[in-house]
C-alpha cells in the first residue's frame, strides 16, 4: 500500500506560523493536497497534543503521526516521529530539565548533544533524524561533517533532505549509505501551497495505520521522494543574506565570506555544501525523486497574478479539484488533455512541468528561487 506522507509541519505555537493552524484546517488542506499521512508537528507542546487528542475522527482516513522538531545545544534541528502523543509527553518530561521552553514553544531548544536527544527518543520507542539536513542554518551539515560528529554512536532512523536539496545531494555521501531519505514540507501555514509541497511516498506493506507508517520509514520502504526542484529552495546557492547576490565558493572565500555590495555575510549554499561532502564514487542507488511545483504557484504564473491567494487563482484551483479530486493527482497523473478542457494554460504548464520544459532561477541566501516555462502557455481564460 503506497501512502503519501508529509511528516514535518508546525503548529501555531512555533515562531513565524499562522495562528489559523488547527487540526481541522490542516486536515482540510491535506485532503485538498491528496495526502494520506500527516505529521502533527510540535507534539512536545502540551496544548497542541491536547488539540489533536480532542479532535474527533473526521472520516477523511488521513493518518496523523505524532511528530515534533527540537533544536539541540549546537542549534542542530532534529525531527522526531512516534506512535503516540503519550510518548511525546514522556519525552517532554525527559527534556524539561534541559529546556526553558519545552512546555511553551512549538520547536523547543534542548540543551543536550544530538546523541543524548536521539537516545532519549529511542528509549521511548520513537524515530529520529536530522531535519533539513543541508541548510546553512540550524542543520546537521551546517555544524558537522559526519553523522558521528552529531550523534556519536547513536543511530539515526532517517534524514530529511529539506527544500533546497533532492536525493542526488545526499546520494553521493558515503556516510548516508544506509540512511533512508524523507521529504517534508516544514509547513508553517495550513494552505495547500505550503502543506505537502514536499512529501514522501511510503510502501506501508498493507498496514496503513500509524505503526505501518513508522515501520515503513524505519525499514527504508521509500517508494519515491517528491518535492521542489532544489533550485527553488531558499538556500540552494551560495549567496549574500541581504542582497542575495550569488557567489562561487572560491569567490566567497576570497572575500572572507562578506559581500562587497553591503558588507553582510555570504552563506554557503546547499549545492556547494553537498558537493564538499560527496565522494568520487558512483551515486548510491536510491528511490526516484519527482520534482513538482505547487499547483497554486502554477496557476498564479499562468494567470499572471501576484499570488496564489488571489480570488481568481482560488476559483480556478477549486474548479480543478472539483474535477480531479486533489492536487497531487492533478500534478502527477491527470491527463493533460482533461486539464486543458478546464484551462488550456494550466494544462500546458503541467505538461511542461512533467517533461522538464522549465527554467529554474536558483534561490540563495534566504530567498526562494523561481521558475519560468520555456515556451508560452495558452492564454488566460
> What's the pLDDT tens digit per position in 191-203?
999 999 999 999 9
Q: Which pTM was predicted?
A: 0.96
Contact 281, 174 (CB under 8 A): yes
Task: Using the predicted structure, report yes or no on whether residue 378 has a pLDDT greater than 90.
Answer: no
Place of cell 474535477: 323
Cell numbers that stand for 282 in this block: 558512483
- pLDDT attached to residue 92: 98
Q: Pick the closest to residue 33 from 321, 340, 342 (CA basis).
A: 321
- pLDDT attached to residue 208: 80
- pLDDT attached to residue 282: 66
- Fill in the DSSP letter of residue 269: P
Q: Pick the closest to residue 135 from 176, 115, 165, 166 (CA basis).
A: 165
CA distance 198 to 196: 5
CA dihedral (299, 300, 305, 311) in degrees, to 10, reads: 70
Cell numbers that stand for 59 in this block: 472520516
- pLDDT attached to residue 380: 42
List, in order, residues 6 or more apart from 207 with CB less than 8 Å away: 1, 215
- pLDDT attached to residue 376: 56
Asked which of 182-191, 358-367, 371-380 is least confident by mean pLDDT, the reply is 371-380
What mean pLDDT do residues 156-175 have?
96
Task: Using the predicted structure, report yes or no on whether residue 47 has a pLDDT greater than 90.
Answer: yes
pLDDT band at 381 (very low <50, low <70, confident <90, very high): very low
List, in order, residues 6 or more apart from 33 with CB less than 8 Å away: 6, 192, 195, 196, 326, 327, 328
Average pLDDT, the chain: 95
Percentages helix, strand, coil for the chain (3-state, rounded to 5) are 35, 15, 50
Task: Using the predicted structure, report yes or no on whether residue 15 has a pLDDT greater than 90.
Answer: yes
What mean pLDDT do residues 243-251 have?
98
Percentage of the chain exceeding pLDDT 90: 92
pLDDT band at 377 (very low <50, low <70, confident <90, very high): low
From residue 14, give the alpha-carbon distance in Å to each of 41, 70, 104, 188, 221. Answer: 9, 11, 9, 8, 30
Amino acid at each position: 500500500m503506497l501512502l503519501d506522507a508529509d511528516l514535518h509541519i508546525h503548529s501555531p505555537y512555533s515562531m513565524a506560523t499562522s495562528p489559523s493552524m488547527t487540526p481541522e484546517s490542516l486536515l482540510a488542506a491535506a485532503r485538498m493536497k491528496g495526502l494520506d499521512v500527516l505529521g502533527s508537528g510540535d507534539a512536545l507542546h502540551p496544548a497542541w497534543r491536547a488539540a489533536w487528542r480532542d479532535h474527533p475522527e473526521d472520516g477523511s482516513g488521513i493518518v496523523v503521526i505524532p511528530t515534533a522538531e527540537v533544536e539541540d545545544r549546537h542549534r542542530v534541528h532534529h525531527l522526531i516521529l512516534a506512535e503516540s502523543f503519550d510518548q511525546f509527553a514522556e519525552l517532554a518530561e525527559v527534556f524539561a530539565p534541559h529546556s526553558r521552553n519545552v512546555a511553551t514553544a512549538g520547536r523547543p531548544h534542548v540543551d543536550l548533544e544530538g546523541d543524548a536527544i536521539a537516545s532519549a527518543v529511542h528509549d521511548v520507542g520513537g524515530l529520529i533524524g536530522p531535519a533539513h539536513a543541508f541548510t546553512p542554518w540550524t542543520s546537521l551539515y551546517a555544524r558537522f561533517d559526519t553523522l558521528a560528529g552529531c550523534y556519536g554512536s547513536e543511530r539515526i532512523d532517517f534524514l530529511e533532505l529539506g527544500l533546497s536539496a533532492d536525493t542526488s545531494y545526499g546520494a553521493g555521501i558515503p556516510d548516508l549509505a544506509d540512511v533512508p531519505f524523507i521529504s517534508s514540507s516544514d509547513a508553517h501555514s495550513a494552505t495547500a501551497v505550503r502543506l505537502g509541497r514536499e512529501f514522501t511516498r511510503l510502501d506501508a506493506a498493507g498496514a496503513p495505520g500509524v505503526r505501518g507508517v513508522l515501520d515503513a520509514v524505519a525499514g527504508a520502504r521509500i517508494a519515491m521522494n517528491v518535492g521542489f526542484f532544489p533550485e527553488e529552495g531558499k538556500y540552494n546557492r551560495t549567496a549574500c543574506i541581504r542582497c542575495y547576490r550569488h557567489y562561487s565558493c572560491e569567490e566567497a572565500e576570497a572575500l572572507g565570506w562578506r559581500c562587497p555590495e553591503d558588507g553582510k555575510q555570504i552563506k554557503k549554499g546547499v549545492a556547494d555544501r553537498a558537493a564538499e561532502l560527496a565522494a568520487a564514487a558512483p551515486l548510491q542507488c536510491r528511490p526516484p525523486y519527482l520534482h513538482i511545483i505547487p499547483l497554486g504557484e502554477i496557476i498564479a504564473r499562468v494567470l499572471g497574478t501576484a499570488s496564489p491567494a488571489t480570488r481568481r487563482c482560488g476559483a480556478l484551483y477549486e474548479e480543478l479539484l472539483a474535477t480531479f479530486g486533489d492536487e497531487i493527482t492533478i500534478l502527477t497523473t491527470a491527463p493533460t488533455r482533461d486539464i486543458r478542457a478546464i484551462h488550456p494554460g494550466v494544462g500546458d504548464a503541467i505538461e511542461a512541468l512533467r517533461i522538464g520544459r522549465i527554467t529554474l532561477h536558483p534561490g540563495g541566501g534566504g530567498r526562494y528561487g523561481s521558475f519560468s516555462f520555456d515556451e508560452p502557455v495558452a492564454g488566460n481564460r
